[in-house]
C-alpha cells in the first residue's frame, strides 16, 4: 500500500512539473510572437512627422509642383522652406487637393496650407492667415481659336473652375449674370486646361498668375479677360496655431530683405510693384 501511494505521489509530481513546463513553453512562444508583432508594427509605423506638415495642392504651377526629378518646387515651396529654415523648423509637404486643405488644417492633420489661397472674410471666420505676400485677380482663359472675347460671351457655355476656389465662388455667384449654362469643377489647373483643349469646356475661370505661367509655352490658349477681384494670398493655418506670430514676423523680415520680391522675379519673371503685398509689409488679416 505504501509503495502504491509513493508511486502515485511521484507520478502526480511529474505531471505537475510537465504541466508547468508546457505552460512555460506556451507563454514563451506567445511572448516571442508578441515581440515579433510589436517589432513588425514599429518597422511599419510611419516616420514621425516634421515640425510643420504643410498641405499643398501639388500641380498648382508655379506655386507648388513637381519638377522632372519629382522634387516639389515653386514660389510658395521656396517661401515656406525659407520661413521654416529661419524658424528652426523642419518641413514635410503633403499633397492634398485644394478643397481638402481646409478640413486638414482645422483637424490638425497639417499645420500650414499653401496653394495660392486667397484671404477672404468667410475663411477668416474659422481659419487664420499670415500677412499676404501676393496680389492677384481671376481670369477667363479660352482656346485661341474661339470667338469668346469677354465674360458676356459665356452665355450658354460650360465653364471650368477649381473646386472651392475663389474662381468657383465668383463663377457660381455670376452664373445668372452671364447666363452660364454649366459649371464643371476640377481638382487643379492641368486637368481643366486639358478639358478646355479637348472642347469639353468652353472657358476656364481661375487665378491669373497660374494661368499666365501655364500657357506661356502653349500657344493654343489665351486669356480672354482679366477679372478684377483684388485677391491676396498667404499661408493658412488654424486659429490656435502656436507659430503663427513667428511666421508673420519672418515674412516681414523676408519682405524687408527683398527675398519675397526676388522669389517673385524667379518664378514670374517680373519685379512686383512696390505697393504690392510681395514687397510691402502688411497687417495680419482680421475680420
Domains contained in the chain, number:
3
The answer to the question of residue 276 being in a domain is no
Query: What distance in Å separates the CA atoms of residue 71 and residue 208, rounded to the nearest whole number?
Result: 24
Q: Are residues 140 and 226 in the same domain?
A: yes
The answer to the question of residue 285 being in a domain is no
Q: Are residues 79 and 207 in the same domain?
A: no
The CATH number given to whatever domain includes residue 247 is 3.40.190.10
How many Cβ atoms are within 10 Å of 244's Cβ, its own excluded?
19
**pLDDT tens-digit readout, 75-134:** 999 999 999 999 999 999 999 999 999 999 999 999 999 999 999 999 999 999 999 999
The model's pTM: 0.79
Question: Mean pLDDT, to the nearest integer, of 55-71?
Answer: 95
Q: Are residues 90 and 40 in the same domain?
A: no
Q: Is the dihedral of CA 79, 80, 86, 91 positive or negative?
A: negative
Q: Is the pLDDT of residue 24 over 60?
A: no
- 32-41, 42-51, 118-127: least confidently modelled range: 32-41
Closest CA to 227 of 155, 165, 154, 136: 136
- Which helix (H) or strand (E) segment holds residue 85: the answer is helix 75-87
The answer to the question of residue 20 being in a domain is yes
Confidence of residue 22 (pLDDT cuts 50, 70, 90): low
The answer to the question of residue 278 being in a domain is no
Q: Are residues 238 and 208 in the same domain?
A: no
Q: Are residues 32 and 56 in the same domain?
A: no
Q: Is the dihedral of CA 107, 113, 119, 120 positive or negative?
A: negative
Domain with 11 in it: 1-45
Confidence of residue 10 (pLDDT cuts 50, 70, 90): low
The answer to the question of residue 287 being in a domain is no
Query: What distance in Å separates the CA atoms of residue 131 and residue 119, rounded to the nearest whole number?
Result: 9
Q: Is the pLDDT of residue 205 over 90?
A: yes
The answer to the question of residue 253 being in a domain is yes
Which percentage of the chain shows pLDDT scores above 90? 82
The answer to the question of residue 33 being in a domain is yes
Q: Are residues 107 and 243 in the same domain?
A: yes
**pLDDT tens-digit readout, 255-264:** 999 999 999 9
Amino acid at each position: 500500500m505504501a509503495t502504491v501511494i509513493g508511486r502515485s505521489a511521484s507520478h502526480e509530481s511529474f505531471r505537475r512539473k510537465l504541466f508547468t513546463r508546457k505552460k512555460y513553453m506556451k507563454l514563451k512562444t506567445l511572448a516571442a510572437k508578441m515581440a515579433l508583432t510589436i517589432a513588425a508594427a514599429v518597422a511599419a509605423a510611419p516616420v514621425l512627422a516634421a515640425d510643420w506638415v504643410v498641405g499643398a495642392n501639388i500641380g498648382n504651377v508655379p506655386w507648388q509642383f513637381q519638377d522632372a526629378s519629382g522634387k516639389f518646387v515653386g514660389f510658395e515651396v521656396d517661401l515656406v522652406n525659407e520661413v521654416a529654415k529661419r524658424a528652426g523648423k523642419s518641413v514635410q509637404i503633403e499633397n492634398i487637393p485644394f478643397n481638402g486643405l481646409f478640413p486638414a488644417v482645422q483637424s490638425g492633420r497639417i499645420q500650414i496650407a499653401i496653394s495660392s489661397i486667397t484671404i477672404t472674410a468667410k475663411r477668416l471666420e474659422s481659419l487664420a492667415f499670415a500677412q499676404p505676400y501676393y496680389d492677384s485677380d481671376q481670369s477667363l482663359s479660352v482656346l485661341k481659336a474661339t470667338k469668346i472675347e469677354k465674360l458676356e460671351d459665356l452665355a450658354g457655355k460650360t465653364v471650368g473652375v477649381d473646386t472651392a476656389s475663389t474662381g468657383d465662388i465668383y463663377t457660381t455667384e455670376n452664373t445668372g449674370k452671364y447666363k452660364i449654362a454649366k459649371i464643371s469643377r476640377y481638382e487643379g489647373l492641368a486637368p481643366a486646361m486639358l478639358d478646355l483643349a479637348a472642347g469639353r469646356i468652353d472657358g476656364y475661370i481661375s487665378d491669373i498668375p497660374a494661368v499666365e505661367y501655364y500657357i506661356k509655352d502653349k500657344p493654343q490658349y489665351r486669356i480672354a479677360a482679366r477679372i478684377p477681384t483684388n485677391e491676396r494670398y498667404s499661408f493658412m493655418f488654424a486659429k490656435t496655431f502656436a507659430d503663427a506670430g513667428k511666421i508673420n514676423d519672418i515674412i516681414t523680415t523676408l519682405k524687408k530683405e527683398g527675398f519675397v520680391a526676388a522669389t517673385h522675379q524667379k518664378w514670374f519673371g517680373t519685379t512686383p510693384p512696390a505697393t504690392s503685398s510681395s514687397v510691402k509689409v502688411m497687417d495680419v488679416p482680421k475680420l
